[in-house]
Structure 1
């Protein structure tokens, strides 16, 4: 079976997370096809993800950037509901990778969060698409995080 990954990113993002995702997926699954779709902002992510799935993608990663204002946070909430709806309607994984500008005090820290989150979630998408629904089971309960140090298991 041909594996096709979708990568959706935005022009509002302050770093090129789409390129990080594409490079990571290519390095992990050299036989895969990747379709990339860039949209203006986060509220455009759900339709782009759905269109890529309809075009043949087995799974999609969306990469968004959320500003600090309350309005930005409401826009993200609407986006998240939209992305969940796309998953339900298509029965395909849509991994939502979002960086919120208020996650860090300085730009250098935001870059590290964005790079780490985009890379780790791209690997998660490859595992789910290439290796199947049980591919992450061995990592369950380990307190793994994307964007930060792992929290680790309790007990």
Structure 2
């Protein structure tokens, strides 16, 4: 099995490294193909290439958009591109974005980025290898990076 890992040089934390560590700690015998691009708008085509040219069965796309209005617009466009790439390839691309203004300070931002990357990596393991566990979590208010909200 191949999992694609796509990250950016714009990010201020190595979320891909945290996710790789998390997955490797749970599942062996997986090949990872990693691709690094400049920014979030480059993630859709890079993710699509990992699927179509490298044969990845799932891709994780990591980005850290800045706090400015233009950064949020670029993140939205990148997200739309990732959705389109999923539909074109019939393959999941797990978007893992952390906006710089989500952190209360730099220490909190770093912790949020690591938590979100690791928790999305846990989701990937469940999606690929433990779908019953994922199904049991439906409707439970799970969140990645911060405290879970809980079921109603």
Aligned counterparts, 1:6-17, within 5 A: 6-17=4-15
**Runs in 1 of length 4+ with deviation above 6 angstroms?**
none
Equivalent residue runs for 1:54-65 within 5 Å: 54=52, 55-65=54-64
Matched, 1:88 2:92: no
Question: Gaps (5+ residues) in structure 2?
Answer: none
Which residue of 2 is the match for residue 102 of structure 1?
Answer: 101
Structure 2 equivalent of residue 143 of structure 1 = 141
Q: Give the root-mean-square deviation of aligned CA atoms.
A: 1.1
Contact 1:60 1:125 in 2 (8 A): no
TM-score using structure 2 length:
0.95
- Kept in 2: contact 1:142–1:153 (CA 8 A): yes
SS at match of 1:126: helix
The runs of 5 or more residues in structure 1 that have no matched partner are none
Query: Displacement of 1:129 after TM fit?
Result: 2.3
Q: CA deviation at 1:135?
A: 4.9
Contact 1:117–1:146 under 8 Å retained in 2: yes
Structure 2 residue aligned with 1:66: 65
3-state SS, counterpart of residue 32 of structure 2 = strand
